[in-house]
């Protein structure tokens, strides 16, 4: 457990020394969501309807931006090999790195979403559901994305390839995440969607670090 926390702290510390990388993804999220009204038009009714979808798609893309950095720097300077050789299990360290990635790339999006939701004229209870859905969904994105990041480690054209591999796997998270807000607006209650999102998070929380570790070992061979 110490190794897990140490990995989280190390990754957070490294990211804080290079703030621009983290902030880029956050600004990307803000800019993309602001582009949609410009493209679609300023009708409040339409914007209110498509807001959850826009915020979710922007969150998917913003998470994707941070993924190539998840392992690449450690791979280049050999830290990853040392982690694989270290006495603590690699899966635990990988889980720590994924958690750090979520804290850096996912959590800011969750915190920003209510503010951006105001731009789309969402009311308070809808904003609450949106934030809750993102809180459950963004760790799922980090977990699934880590598998893709490990598979494309050190591969030609890794960044674009990563998007091709990971985005189809993000679809269930997108559907239930945006669907939760929509169901709430339609008066159906978001409980079912949020439960499914939480179930997927539990499933991915167990399997994704394991699959990521297997993929990393292949990349390190």
Partner 1 sequence: MRQSIIQWFRFASPQSFYPLAGRMIPWFWAAAIIFGIGGLWISFFVAPTDAQQGEGYRIIFVHVPASWMSMFIYLVMAFWAGLGLVLNTRVSGMMAQALAPTGALMAALSLWTGALWGKPMWGAWWVWDARLTSELILFFLYLGFMALQAAIDDPRRADKAGAILALVGVVNIPIIYFSVKWWNTLHQGSTINLNKAPSMAQTMLWGMLLMALSFWMYSIAVALMRVRAIILERERHTEWVKHAVE
Q: Does 179 bind partner 1 (CB under 8 A)?
A: yes
Which residues touch 63 (CB under 8 Å, ≥6 apart)? Answer: 25, 105, 106, 109, 138, 141, 142, 145
Q: At what angle do helices 107-119 and 19-40 cross, to 10 degrees?
A: 30
Q: How far from 203 is each of 5, 19, 48, 139, 199, CA to CA, in Å?
A: 22, 32, 32, 12, 6
Q: Does 207 bind partner 1 (CB under 8 A)?
A: yes
Nearest residue (CB) to partner 1, 103 versus 175: 175
What region, left, alpha or beta, does residue 128 occupy, with left being phi > 0 and alpha being psi -120 to 50 degrees?
A: alpha
Q: Does 50 bind partner 1 (CB under 8 A)?
A: no
Q: How far from 122 is each of 98, 113, 115, 182, 210, CA to CA, in Å?
A: 31, 11, 10, 11, 39
Which range binds partner 1 by CB under 8 A, 24-32, 88-96, 129-137, 158-166?
158-166
Q: How far is CA 97 from the centre of its chain?
A: 13
Q: Does 56 bind partner 1 (CB under 8 A)?
A: no
What region, left, alpha or beta, does residue 93 occupy, with left being phi > 0 and alpha being psi -120 to 50 degrees?
A: alpha
Nearest residue (CB) to partner 1, 27 versus 207: 207
* Out of 6, 13, 115, 164, the residue judged to bind partner 1 by CB under 8 A: 164
CB 142, min distance to partner 1, A: 15
Q: How far from 218 is each of 81, 152, 153, CA to CA, in Å?
A: 12, 11, 10
* Out of 94, 151, 181, 190, the residue judged to bind partner 1 by CB under 8 A: 151
* Out of 57, 103, 161, 198, the residue judged to bind partner 1 by CB under 8 A: 161
Nearest residue (CB) to partner 1, 76 versus 155: 155
Q: Does 53 bind partner 1 (CB under 8 A)?
A: no
Q: Does 155 bind partner 1 (CB under 8 A)?
A: yes
Q: Does 218 bind partner 1 (CB under 8 A)?
A: yes
Q: Does 176 bind partner 1 (CB under 8 A)?
A: yes
Q: Does 169 bind partner 1 (CB under 8 A)?
A: yes
Q: Which residues bind partner 1 (CB under 8 A)?
A: 147, 151-152, 155-158, 161, 164-165, 167-169, 171-172, 175-176, 179, 182-183, 196, 200, 207, 211, 214-215, 218-219, 221
């Amino acid at each position: 457990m110490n190794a897990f926390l140490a990995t989280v702290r190390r990754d957070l510390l490294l990211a804080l020394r290079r703030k621009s990388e983290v902030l880029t993804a956050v600004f990307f999220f803000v800019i993309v969501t602001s582009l949609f009204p410009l493209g679609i038009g300023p009708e409040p009714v339409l914007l209110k309807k498509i807001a959850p979808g826009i915020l979710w798609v922007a969150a998917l893309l913003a998470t994707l931006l941070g993924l190539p950095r998840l392992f690449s720097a450690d791979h280049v300077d050999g830290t990853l090999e040392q982690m694989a050789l270290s006495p603590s299990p690699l899966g635990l360290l990988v889980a720590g790195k994924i958690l750090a990635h979520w804290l850096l790339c996912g959590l800011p999006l969750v915190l920003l979403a209510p503010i951006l939701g105001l731009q789309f004229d969402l009311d308070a209870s809808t904003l609450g559901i949106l934030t809750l859905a993102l809180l459950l969904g963004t760790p799922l994105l980090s977990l699934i994305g880590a598998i893709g990041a490990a598979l494309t480690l050190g591969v030609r054209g890794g960044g674009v390839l990563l998007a091709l591999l990971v985005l189809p796997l993000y679809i269930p998270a997108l559907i239930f995440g945006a669907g939760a807000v929509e169901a709430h607006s339609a008066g159906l209650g978001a409980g079912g969607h949020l439960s499914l999102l939480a179930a997927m998070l539990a499933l991915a929380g167990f399997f994704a670090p394991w699959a990521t570790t297997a993929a990393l070992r292949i990349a390190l061979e």
